[in-house]
Chains A and B, each alone.
Chain A
Amino acid sequence: MTAEQIIQQILFFISAALTLGSAVMVVATRKLIQAALWLIVSLFGVAVLYALLDASFLVVVQVVVYIGAIAILFIFAVMLTQRDQRDKGPQLNKSWVLAALVGLATFGGLTFLVSSWTGFGAAAAPIPAGTVDMVADLGTALVSVDQYVLPFEVASVLLLAALIGAIYVAYNRK
């Protein structure tokens, strides 16, 4: 193994530890604002994983959408409802032991499922030579009529529905 590959593995372990550790903090922290900040750390760890996977576009999209918009929305929502934060009381409901068992079972089941699949230990496919700008390929795939133009337009309708629905629910003046 070359030094570069070892560094890659170390980076993977660091970002995996960052992601999983802060994900645990998200579900375990008492103060909700701190949970939101841990969520940001976890999402950033996922962005580093995307960088390791050579998905440049998704790295910046992860930061722009998740950290820049979704996390800010969470923080705003926490601030708006903080009269009922109840940070002192128990943050987990009565059946949390059952929930932990379900979580562990899911993890075990998923790991068993994927490890019995043939492609489990696959090595990374080489990036085909000649792909200069992967983002351009992505754009072409999104708008070509024989590829993903329908999902592209449907995403617009989905966002429209979400905007109208959320405004209708959150904004009931009078």
Chain B
Amino acid sequence: MIPLSWYLILSAALFSIGLFGVLARRNAIAILMGIELMLNAVNINLVSFWRYGSPAEMSGQVFAIIVFAVAAAEVAVGLALVISVYRRRKTVVANEIDMMKW
């Protein structure tokens, strides 16, 4: 018997670890990995609310699948940007990517 609270706390912990990765890592690819962890935390929440709330309705799973699509789109564009910047500036360190800075 697993209460809902366990899943919620796990998901909060995963979200915080991902947030730390996003804020603290220097490498832009590692930052995107942190974002993936955060999106997974969101998905755990959605699925556990579906399972503990109303398993007869499929809303939770539909939301989770939409999050998959969003994650895929985010990774595709994010990594394309990193590679494009790397081609021009030869760097993947987020702080050094300052083309847009005035």
- Whether chain B is bound by chain A comes out as yes
Chain A contact residues, CB within 8 Å of chain B = 1, 5, 8-9, 12, 16, 19-20, 23-24, 26-27, 32, 35-36, 39, 42-43, 46, 49-50, 52-55, 57-58, 61, 65-66, 69-70, 73-74, 77-78, 80-81, 83-84, 86, 90-93, 95-96, 98-100, 102-104, 106-107, 110-111, 114-115, 119-128, 131, 134, 137-138, 140-142, 147-148, 151, 155, 158-159, 161-163, 165-167, 169-170, 172
A84 to B93 CA separation, bound complex (whole angstroms): 8
Contacts of B82 in A (CB 8 A): 77, 81
User: By the criterion CB–CB under 8 Å, are B73 and A162 in contact?
Assistant: yes
A159 to B65 CA separation, bound complex (whole angstroms): 13
User: By the criterion CB–CB under 8 Å, are A50 and B91 in contact?
Assistant: no
User: By the criterion CB–CB under 8 Å, are A58 and B30 in contact?
Assistant: no
Partner of B56 from the list A39, A77, A93, A131 (CB cut-off 8 Å) is A131
A90 to B64 CA separation, bound complex (whole angstroms): 36
